[in-house]
Structure 1
Amino acid sequence: METLDGGARVGDAEDLFDPPPLKPEPEHPPLYMRDVLARDPFPPPANMFEDQQAYLGSGPIPASRYFSRDYAALEKEKMWSKVWQFACWGHDIPNPGDIHVYRILDRSVLVVRQRDGSVKAFVNACLHRGRELCETHTHQNELKCPYHYFTWGLDGSHKWTPAKWDFPQLDEKKFSLPEIRVEEWNGFLFVNFDTDAPNLASYMGSRFLDHWKGWDFSNRYKAVHVKKTINCNWKAGMDAFIEGFHAFASHSQGAAISCEDIGQFDIYDDAPHMSRFILPLGMPSFRLDPRPDDATAFEYMCAGFLPEALGTDEGRLQPGEDARAGSARVARKSYVKKYGIDPATVSDSEALDAISYFMFPNFMPWPTLAYPLVYRFTPLEDPDWCVWETMLFHPFTGERPPSCAVNDLGTDGSMVDDATELGGLALVLHQDDVQLPAVQRGMKNLASGELILTETQELRIRHLHKVLEDYINR
């Protein structure tokens, strides 16, 4: 496989994915994630044992949902206008007058830090002739339309009308900017266009909020934010990031250290907008033939977490250690070096594993130190395209560092591996970058017109479509 070192470009999917040696598929997984968690010397949070692999059937999903303009119109009318959706990280607008412009399809919202530190959100349109008040993220002392200088305060109250004498019909006391609902969770700001929707806490559900009590992002800052416009439907992007089933084939370089075939996939009746997966690292896939031994798997993990330890005593398994225990040891040491924190008693799972939550429709926070990620796929008017964002939230000590600038790769041919700030994650995401447009094209050629899904490993895709259909059929 051609490497990406030195800026080399890998253009074809076939160049990216080396097929690993395969064992015959077992009738059922030889181990379960709950068994791995139970062996952890530092007990994981109790919520991680809430194994809720419910049954959502084995039926197909219509492929047209991913490219039909009629279906996209239904999503826009019935779903996007009703749901709580992640607009921005609150610390991106820390000061009074800081403004974030959030766009979703043909809607545009101003998220504005107020003088008292609170946040308000407004429709991003001048009440005169509709010109956007702000086109990009900015800092202003007031909200002034660049077209004719109609002016509002940061709180949306009307301040000034040009040629006031020529607008006898205006009641300036009622000429405030229309507000959009905005609420905060864990530093993230969400908006909702529906005035009758339940509040954000009710939407998320008590189970989700309880799960996250131990994962506080108040000690995190946004260290990386990469944005790319990609040729796939927003759901096709979401699908790839809420299942681990594709990892063995699409990210085969990780098969020696990733055991996605025994992952845990959870949905909950009492939290209908939420799902989760837990995929174990530090142990090789059971599909490999031969399956690497512990020393080999540990060497791979050590190379990723603490490469300077390779060839030293620290880079060798200690007496009584298996690959996972050794990987957790070097991972903790890497966090001391990288973040200046000592997670000595953090569970092995939180130190190593891919733990991904999903809050419908498109918010994906990962709580752990190993992958401090948030993903988001946002639709565009053309259902064949969406905006893909990858963010990394790192722990810090002392004063909070400022949020990073957004690296917008646009549509000019740049690919995710051009974002060097992603580090080792860049290769993994580049492989998705190659796959997703091919998925979007291929779905249109299905003779059956249907997508066939697993019952368990793609359960979260079934869940996404169930919730989406619930909104559309209301």
Structure 2
Amino acid sequence: MTIETTRPTRPGEWLDDTKIGLSGLGSAPADFQWKIPTERYTSPEIAAQERELIWTKTWQIVGRVSALAKAGAWKTYQLFDQSFIVVRGRDDVIRGFVNACRHRGNLLCAERSGTSRQFLCQYHLWSYDLEGNCRGILREGLSGVDKSDVSLVPVPVETFSGFIFLNPDPDAKPLAEYLGPEVFELLRPYQMEQFITVMDVEEPLECNWKVVMDAFQEGYHLWGVHPQLLNVIFPDPETGRYRFLGDHSVATTPFDVPRGEHFGPEEQVAGIRKLPETFPAVPLMLPRFEELVAEYRGEDGTLAFPDGVTARTLLQRATRDTLTGMGLDVSRLTDNQMTDNQGWVLFPNFFMTVRAGECHITMPTPHPSGDPNKCVWHVASYMYLPEELAEVAKVEPTVVTEPGSHTYFEALQQDYEQMQRQQAGLRNSRLKYETITREEIVVAAFHHVLDRYLDGARS
């Protein structure tokens, strides 16, 4: 007797379920924001509304759990003129506090990161333990102050997928509720908590933070800004899939080297070999990929793929084999997730492309000055690497203080330059709105969510 077995459903299979998500360009919700007022990017009044209605009330990623690996490791997070400390306590719990002494409000941590056994205020030498409790008051017997009344002011902090989230709102709902169960379910199988940092750069930009978010939520600009990528990535909005999860979203277009009469097997393979210029994890997969390609090369050197086999499917096999061999469990990821970047938007300011073994993030925040024509962007890349390689590849954060002094990899450099050009155009007073196309459906969705938050200022 034959017993039929079925493969357990994996979260990434939502792409193959016609009842989930949107497919193609014809199904975009009519109430999405297709005309975006340009004042949204330039108005100090709108920037002030965003500060009150968005930035003080939402969960924001402030770093990686791995950056606070040991008790006493801390980092600061700056949001406008508000400063917070995130620290790992002796009990191994990561907590957040307002970065101010409870005595006279002196800044406790003036640097970006460090390691301490306690927090000592340099003004009057009050001290606090890593859990925020006041432990020492100078000349305590004469102070008239009860130490139990002057613990550091707590701020909600939680972790997920290796990222540290902070919410300035003391009454914030739990992170799991804010993101929703589907976000947790879809992202967990990537096991990003095991990834290490291979790029980490922060730099002020001459553009609004939403210009950055908009730029990374669509592939429509590849033709104008990244034409070199069209040799290896050809976005097809008709086959793209979109899933909107409350305030957040995920979208993907099947990755494939362009095919047609001029793109046979050799051209497909050549395209894969160019991917390391954009995706840092691909070199790890190439040795296995070349082994698989060789199986389809005839004695005369001719490469021929049978039906069902492409350079893409071979890269999928190579990626699964390589990552499994290095110790990463990818059994809950689909074949598509081996090669296809899924673009995630976690409102308000987190954009991530992720596939098996690597992810890349862009996080813009408003400029501390509050100037709507400026922001600070944080770009980073993370990869899964075995321990011996991780020690060599991991990097420390780079903070760029002189504009234009840092050179990004080619595609990111092109975005860096383009976004600041766009802000210059948006400042023209006669231009009243942007017109969003159906190929930019995720941008339209993002501004639809933004509208809902800003409605609080109009109600």
Question: Is the CA contact (8 Å cut-off) linking 1:126 and 1:133 kept in structure 2?
Answer: yes
Aligned CA distance change for structure 1 residues 95 and 349 (closer, same or farther; 3 Å)? same
Match of 2:221 in 1: 246
Which of 94, 118, 133 is matched with 2:69 structurally? 94
CA distance in 1, matches of 2:131, 2:148: 14
CA distance in 2, matches of 1:70, 1:145: 36
Match of 2:12 in 1: 45
Which of 325, 330, 350 is matched with 2:313 structurally? 325
- Specify the SS of the correspondent of 1:227: strand
- The answer on 1:279 being equivalent to 2:253 is yes
Match of 1:23 in 2: none
CA distance in 1, matches of 2:318, 2:70: 39
Question: Is the CA contact (8 Å cut-off) linking 2:259 and 2:268 kept in structure 1?
Answer: no
Aligned CA distance change for structure 1 residues 207 and 330 (closer, same or farther; 3 Å)? closer
Match of 1:295 in 2: 266
CA distance in 2, matches of 1:256, 1:296: 9
- Specify the SS of the correspondent of 1:261: coil
Question: Is the CA contact (8 Å cut-off) linking 1:415 and 1:430 kept in structure 2?
Answer: no
Question: Is the CA contact (8 Å cut-off) linking 2:53 and 2:454 kept in structure 1?
Answer: yes
Aligned CA distance change for structure 1 residues 464 and 57 (closer, same or farther; 3 Å)? closer
- The answer on 1:451 being equivalent to 2:439 is no
- Superposition deviation, residue 351 in structure 1: 2.1
- Superposition deviation, residue 141 in structure 1: 0.7
- Superposition deviation, residue 285 in structure 1: 8.1
Letter matched to residue 449 of structure 2: V
Matches within 5 A, 1:35-184: 45-49=12-16, 50-52=20-22, 54-55=28-29, 56-57=31-32, 59-135=34-110, 136-164=112-140, 167-168=143-144, 170-184=145-159
Aligned CA distance change for structure 1 residues 129 and 43 (closer, same or farther; 3 Å)? closer
- Specify the SS of the correspondent of 2:386: coil
Question: Is the CA contact (8 Å cut-off) linking 2:357 and 2:383 kept in structure 1?
Answer: no
Aligned CA distance change for structure 1 residues 215 and 161 (closer, same or farther; 3 Å)? same
Larger deviation: 347-356 or 79-88? 347-356
Match of 1:227 in 2: 202
Match of 1:462 in 2: 444
- Superposition deviation, residue 344 in structure 1: 9.2
Question: Is the CA contact (8 Å cut-off) linking 2:269 and 2:311 kept in structure 1?
Answer: yes
- Superposition deviation, residue 447 in structure 1: 2.9
CA distance in 2, matches of 1:198, 1:79: 14
Aligned CA distance change for structure 1 residues 279 and 444 (closer, same or farther; 3 Å)? same
Letter matched to residue 90 of structure 2: R
Match of 2:360 in 1: 373
TM-score (ref. length: structure 2): 0.82
Match of 1:191 in 2: 166
Aligned CA distance change for structure 1 residues 342 and 129 (closer, same or farther; 3 Å)? closer
Match of 1:427 in 2: 410
CA distance in 1, matches of 2:182, 2:333: 22
Q: Deviations over 1:84-139 (max 9, x none)?
A: 11111111101111111111111111001010101111000122332211122011
- Specify the SS of the correspondent of 1:100: strand
CA distance in 2, matches of 1:336, 1:46: 20
* Structure 1: runs of 5+ lacking an equivalent: 1-41, 418-425
- Specify the SS of the correspondent of 2:247: strand
* Structure 2: runs of 5+ lacking an equivalent: 1-8, 276-281, 298-302
Question: Is the CA contact (8 Å cut-off) linking 2:34 and 2:437 kept in structure 1?
Answer: no
Aligned CA distance change for structure 1 residues 341 and 164 (closer, same or farther; 3 Å)? closer
Matches within 5 A, 1:365-444: 365-369=352-356, 371-380=358-367, 381-398=370-387, 401=390, 404-417=395-408, 426-444=409-427
The CA RMSD over aligned residues, in Å, is 3.0
- Superposition deviation, residue 253 in structure 1: 0.5
Aligned CA distance change for structure 1 residues 391 and 314 (closer, same or farther; 3 Å)? farther
- Specify the SS of the correspondent of 1:260: coil
TM-score (ref. length: structure 1): 0.79
CA distance in 2, matches of 1:357, 1:174: 42
Identical residues among aligned pairs (%): 27
Aligned CA distance change for structure 1 residues 57 and 192 (closer, same or farther; 3 Å)? closer
Question: Is the CA contact (8 Å cut-off) linking 2:199 and 2:397 kept in structure 1?
Answer: yes
CA distance in 2, matches of 1:345, 1:139: 37
- Superposition deviation, residue 225 in structure 1: 1.2
Matches within 5 A, 1:260-279: 260-262=235-237, 264-268=240-244, 271-279=245-253
Which of 337, 361, 365 is matched with 2:348 structurally? 361
CA distance in 1, matches of 2:117, 2:434: 51
Letter matched to residue 407 of structure 1: T
CA distance in 2, matches of 1:123, 1:176: 11
Question: Is the CA contact (8 Å cut-off) linking 1:158 and 1:173 kept in structure 2?
Answer: yes
- Superposition deviation, residue 295 in structure 1: 3.0
Letter matched to residue 312 of structure 2: R
CA distance in 2, matches of 1:43, 1:285: 29
